[in-house]
Amino acid sequence: MTLAEKIDQSETRVFTTVFPFLTNHHDTLFGGKAMAIMDEVSFMAATRFCRKRLVTVSSDKINFEKAIPSGSIIEAVARVESVGRTSMKVKVEIYLEHMYQEGRELAIQGMFSFVALDENKKPIPILDGMELDD
């Protein structure tokens, strides 16, 4: 399997309805909840990619481009963006769908970095025996 095929197969999509308990005082998706959703879906994609123990080590610039109102449907899409020896970056995009309208639009995006760890919590290679070039 090539690296590109492995990336394609590990892409992860999660849908959620934005109910009022997920919102802030503006009746829009609370930013902290959005970040938690992004971290979780990026973790799933990263784990599906390498099937190793991973920890989040950073989140890069997260852009909240559009407020997501209560009563919306969101789709979080995570895809491996780059792979190093012991770390990887996963890009996450959250799309907004209004409940009673067609279409969707990009609302939030960001990048999450993960490191693979062994049972002693020491960094280990992300990929075993696979070249990083296609």
- Across the range 71-97, mean pLDDT stands at 97
In a domain, 122, yes or no: no
Overall pTM surpassing 0.85 (yes/no): yes
Q: How many domains does the chain have?
A: 1
User: For the segment 17-44, what is each residue's pLDDT rounded down to a tens digit?
Assistant: 999 999 999 999 999 999 999 999 999 9
What's the domain range around 80? 3-117
Compute the Cα dihedral for 117, 7, 81, 41 and give only its sign.
negative
d(CA 19, CA 58) in angstroms, rounded, equals 28
In a domain, 94, yes or no: yes
Write down the pLDDT at residue 130. 58
In a domain, 102, yes or no: yes
pLDDT above 90 (res 133) = no
CATH number for the domain including 36? Answer: 3.10.129.10
